[in-house]
Structure 1
Amino acid sequence: MKKVLFFMPDNPLKKNAGNRTRALSMLSYFKSRNFEIDFISEYFTGRWNETDIKAFEQSGLANNTYVIKKKPSKKNILFYLIFYKLPNFFYQNRAWFFPLQFPELVTMRFKRAFNKILKNNDYDYIFINYASWATLVDGNHLTEKPVTIIDTHDFITAQLQKKVNIGQSFKEEIRRISLFDIALAISVEEQYIFSQFCKNRVALAPMMLDKPENHHPAEEKTFDLIYVASDNVHNKKSANWFFKEVYPLLPGNIQICIIGQINEHLSIKAPNIIAINFAEDLSTYYQKAKVALCPMLTGTGTKIKVVEALSYGLPIVCNSRGVDGLIDKTNNGCLVSDNPVEFGNNIMKLLTDKSEYKKQAENAQAAFNTNYEKERCYKNLDTIFGIV
């Protein structure tokens, strides 16, 4: 039985963001292939509590669970300042004369705890999520024997381009990704970029989801539109654009279901809008919707909500950023426009033209079955992990 150490700073069971769904799908893959899994997370980053930890332990996703605090308690403020804050400042800013222009999230305290686990175990694979945590393996002799893998999730420099020196940030991101034996890219764009500069193997590992069962026919749909979004800065900007520029152009009787923390930032209230801050199971809502919305003006990487909608055979109306990361850019079930009027027209076309709706629904289902269906993606991962 192969053994993997899987590090993810967030709690994968809190399925309220695409990055957590991604980590959950990777853990499920390892479990399906009978890996022994040691799961490590960071207490404050993942906003863990004792109930969360217990729930994760009982989920069966890992054989052993370690939730580590990257910093000590502040009860003894002198101890906190002398033995954590001051030395960690110099550790995380050891290049402070020449700033890296890239996020460093690993603390001395966390890396010591991480290494303690490594010393007590023999792993075949070490799996790290995010380049911002890559220094867990940087110069670490304890990670030399196992195969090291990074799941990049996103092109971080592109996310930070207005805050950092792009050249320095990109150079550091490539350096960190290159520390690993294998880098996994969730989108074709990121695979292309990273493979051009990294000397290690860069493999495409698209988002993978189960194929839902029992698709409801269109006449049984309750919602005309479904919009699923967390409250990150890109979603807030895009939601504001949609409700300011597009929503006023739509008939008032169109039923819209909005799911996710984005609701906390929307001021619009109307009888035709159903707001649900959190849904444990999105399946029920996708099954009841005719068309999925993905207004995205900024951001990088594959939009998980787009792949989710494709899995239910839902046509999608989105901006050009909405198809970022998709393997097929055309005939994929998405109607794309950055113009508010055209965006609204695309919605109405799908809601009023049965033949167009059928065509796009079939395209959506085919795109999912070919590129993102779980078992098909599992076979691609098997080649990466040497499973015959």
Structure 2
Amino acid sequence: MKKVLFFMPDNPLKKNAGNRTRALSMLDYFKSRNFEIDFVSEYYTGQWNASDIQAFEQSGLADKTYVIKKKPSKKNILFYLLFYKLPNFFYQNKAWFFPLNFPELVTLRFKRAFKKILESKDYDYIFINYASWATLVEDNPLAKKPVKIIDTHDFITAQLQRKVNIGSSFKEEIRRISLFDIALAISVEEQYIFSQFCKNKVALAPMMLDKPENRHSTEEKPFDLIYVASDNIHNQKSATWFFNKVYPLLPGNIHICIIGQINKHLSVKAPNIIAVNFAEDLSTYYQKAKVALCPMLTGTGTKIKVVEALSYGLPVVCNTRGIDGLIDKTNNGCLVSDDPVQFKNNILRLLTDDATYQQEAKNAAAAFNLNYEKEQCFKNLDTVFGIV
């Protein structure tokens, strides 16, 4: 039985963000291939508590669970300063004369704890999520033998471009990704960029989702539009654009269901808007909707909400940024425009022209089946990892 040490700073069971859903699918993959999985996370980053840890241990996703604190308690302030704060300052700022302009989230304390876990077992694979945690395997002799895999999730330099020196940030991001034997890119754009500069193997591993059981439900659909969005700066900007520029152009009888923490930032209140701050299971809502919205003006990487909508055979109306990361850019079930009037027209076309709707729904389902259906993606990962 192959053994994998799997690090993810967040709790994958809190399925309220695409990155957690992705980590969950990766754990499912290793479990389906009969791997022995030891899972490692960071207490504060993942906002873990005792019940969260117990729930994860009982989920069967991993054989052993480690949730480690990257810093000690401040109850003994002298100990905290002398044995954590001061050593960690020099560790995380060892290049402070020549700033990396790239996030370093690994503390000296956490790296030592991670090393102790590596000492406990002969692992075949080390799987790390995010380049900002890549230094967990750096300068560690115990990490030489296992196959080291990094799931990049996103192109971090692109996210930080307005805050840092792009050149030094990109150089450091490539250096960190190159510490691994295999780098997984979630989008074709990121696979292309990383493969141009990294010496290691860069493989495409798109978002992987189960095919819904009742994709073609014939029940009445009370929602004309569904909009799923978490609370981040990109969604805030995009939602503001949609409700200021597009929504006023739509007929008042179009019913919109908005799901997620983005609701906290929306001031629009109307009888045709249904707000759901959190949904444990999105499938019920997707099956009751006709068209999915993805207004997206900024941000990088694949938009998970788009892939989710495609999995239900829902046509998507989005901006250009909405199709970032998609393997197929055309005939994929998405109608794309950055112009508010055309965006509105795309919505109305799908809601009033049945022939167009049926064709785009067919395209959406086909794009999902070919590129993002979980079992198909698992077979592709077998090739990447050399599993027969």
For the Cα contact (< 8 Å) 2:151–2:185, is it kept in 1? yes
Contact 1:222 1:288 in 2 (8 A): yes
Contact preservation (8 Å) 2:211, 2:311:
yes
Q: Which residue of structure 2 aligns with residue 134 of structure 1?
A: 134
CA distance, structure 1, for counterparts of residue 375 and residue 84 of structure 2: 45
Match of 1:278 in 2: 278
Moved more, 146-155 or 231-240: 231-240
Report the CA distance between 1:218 and its aligned residue: 6.1
Q: Deviations over 1:171-206 (max 9, x none)?
A: 000000000000000000000000000000000000
Aligned to 2:49: 49
Per the TM alignment, residue 316 of structure 1 is displaced from its structure 2 partner at its CA by: 0.0
TM-score (norm 2): 0.99
TM-score with structure 1 length normalisation? 0.99
SS in 2 for 1:73: coil
Contact in 2 for aligned 1:126/1:149 (Cα 8 Å): yes
Q: Residue 95 of structure 1 aligns to a residue in which SS?
A: coil
**Matching residue's letter, 1:173:** E
Q: Secondary structure at the match of 2:293?
A: strand
**Contact kept? 1:216, 1:288, Cα under 8 Å:** no
C-alpha distance in structure 2 between counterparts of 1:85 and 1:267, whole Å: 42
Describe the SS at the equivalent of 2:61.
coil
DSSP 3-state at the match of 2:262: helix
CA distance in 2, matches of 1:213, 1:358: 19
Cα separation, 2, equivalents of 1:323 and 1:371: 14
- Match of residue 210 from structure 1: 210
Deviations 1:122-144 (A, max 9, x none): 10000000000000011111100
CA apart distance, 1:215: 2.6
- Residues 200-245 of structure 1 show CA distances to partners (whole Å, capped at 9, x for unaligned) of 0000000111111123456611100001111011111101111111
Residue 173 (structure 1) aligns with: 173
Aligned partner letter, 1:131:
A
8 Å contact from structure 2 (residues 216, 312) kept in 1: no
Q: What residue number does 2:88 align with?
A: 88
Alpha-carbon separation, structure 2, partners of 1:264 and 1:296:
18
Which residue matches 2:267?
A: 267
Q: Matches of 1:253 and 1:308 in 2, distance apart? A: 26
> What is the one-letter code of the residue matched to 2:191?
Q
Q: 1:235 to 1:218 in 2, by over 3 A?
A: farther
Q: Which residue of 2 aligns with 1:155?
A: 155
Match of 1:11, SS?
Answer: coil
Identity %: 85
Contact kept in structure 2, 1:22 and 1:207, CA below 8 Å: yes
Which is worse superposed, 323-332 or 260-269? 260-269
Structure 1 unaligned segments of length 5 or more: list them. none
Q: Trace 1:100-249 onto structure 2 (pairs within 5 A).
A: 100-217=100-217, 220-249=220-249
- Partner in structure 2 of residue 254 of structure 1: 254
1:21 deviates by 0.5
Pair 1:294 & 2:289 matched: no
Gaps of at least 5 residues in structure 2 are: none
What are the superposed Cα offsets for residues 58-89 of structure 1, whole Å, 9 maximum, x if unpaired? 10000000000000001111211111111101
Aligned residue runs from structure 1 range 3-82, under 5 A: 3-82=3-82
Distance of 2:97 and 2:125 partners within structure 1? 35
Quote the Cα distance in structure 1 between the aligned partners of 2:194 and 2:63. Answer: 32
1:338-370 Cα offsets, whole Å, 9 max, x none, are 001110110000000000000100000000001
Q: Return 230-239 or 212-221, whichever deviates more.
A: 212-221
The Cα shift of 1:270 comes to 1.1
Structure-2 separation of matches of 1:246 and 1:317: 12
CA distance in structure 1 between the partners assigned to 2:20 and 2:257 by the alignment: 22
Take 1:346 and 1:184, find their aligned partners in 2: how far apart are those partners?
A: 34
- CA displacement, residues 309-350 of structure 1 (integer Å, 9 cap, x when unaligned): 000000000000000000000000000000011101100000
Amino acid at match of 2:6: F
**What's the secondary structure of 1:220's corresponding residue?**
coil
Off by >3 Å, runs of 4+ in structure 1: 216-219
The residue identity in structure 1 corresponding to 2:278 is F
Residues 216, 313 of structure 2: 8 Å contact kept: no
CA distance in 2, matches of 1:214, 1:5: 35
Counterpart of 1:325 in structure 2 is: 325
Deviates more, 1:166-175 or 1:69-78: 69-78
1:266 CA drift (Å): 1.1
How many equivalent pairs are there? 388
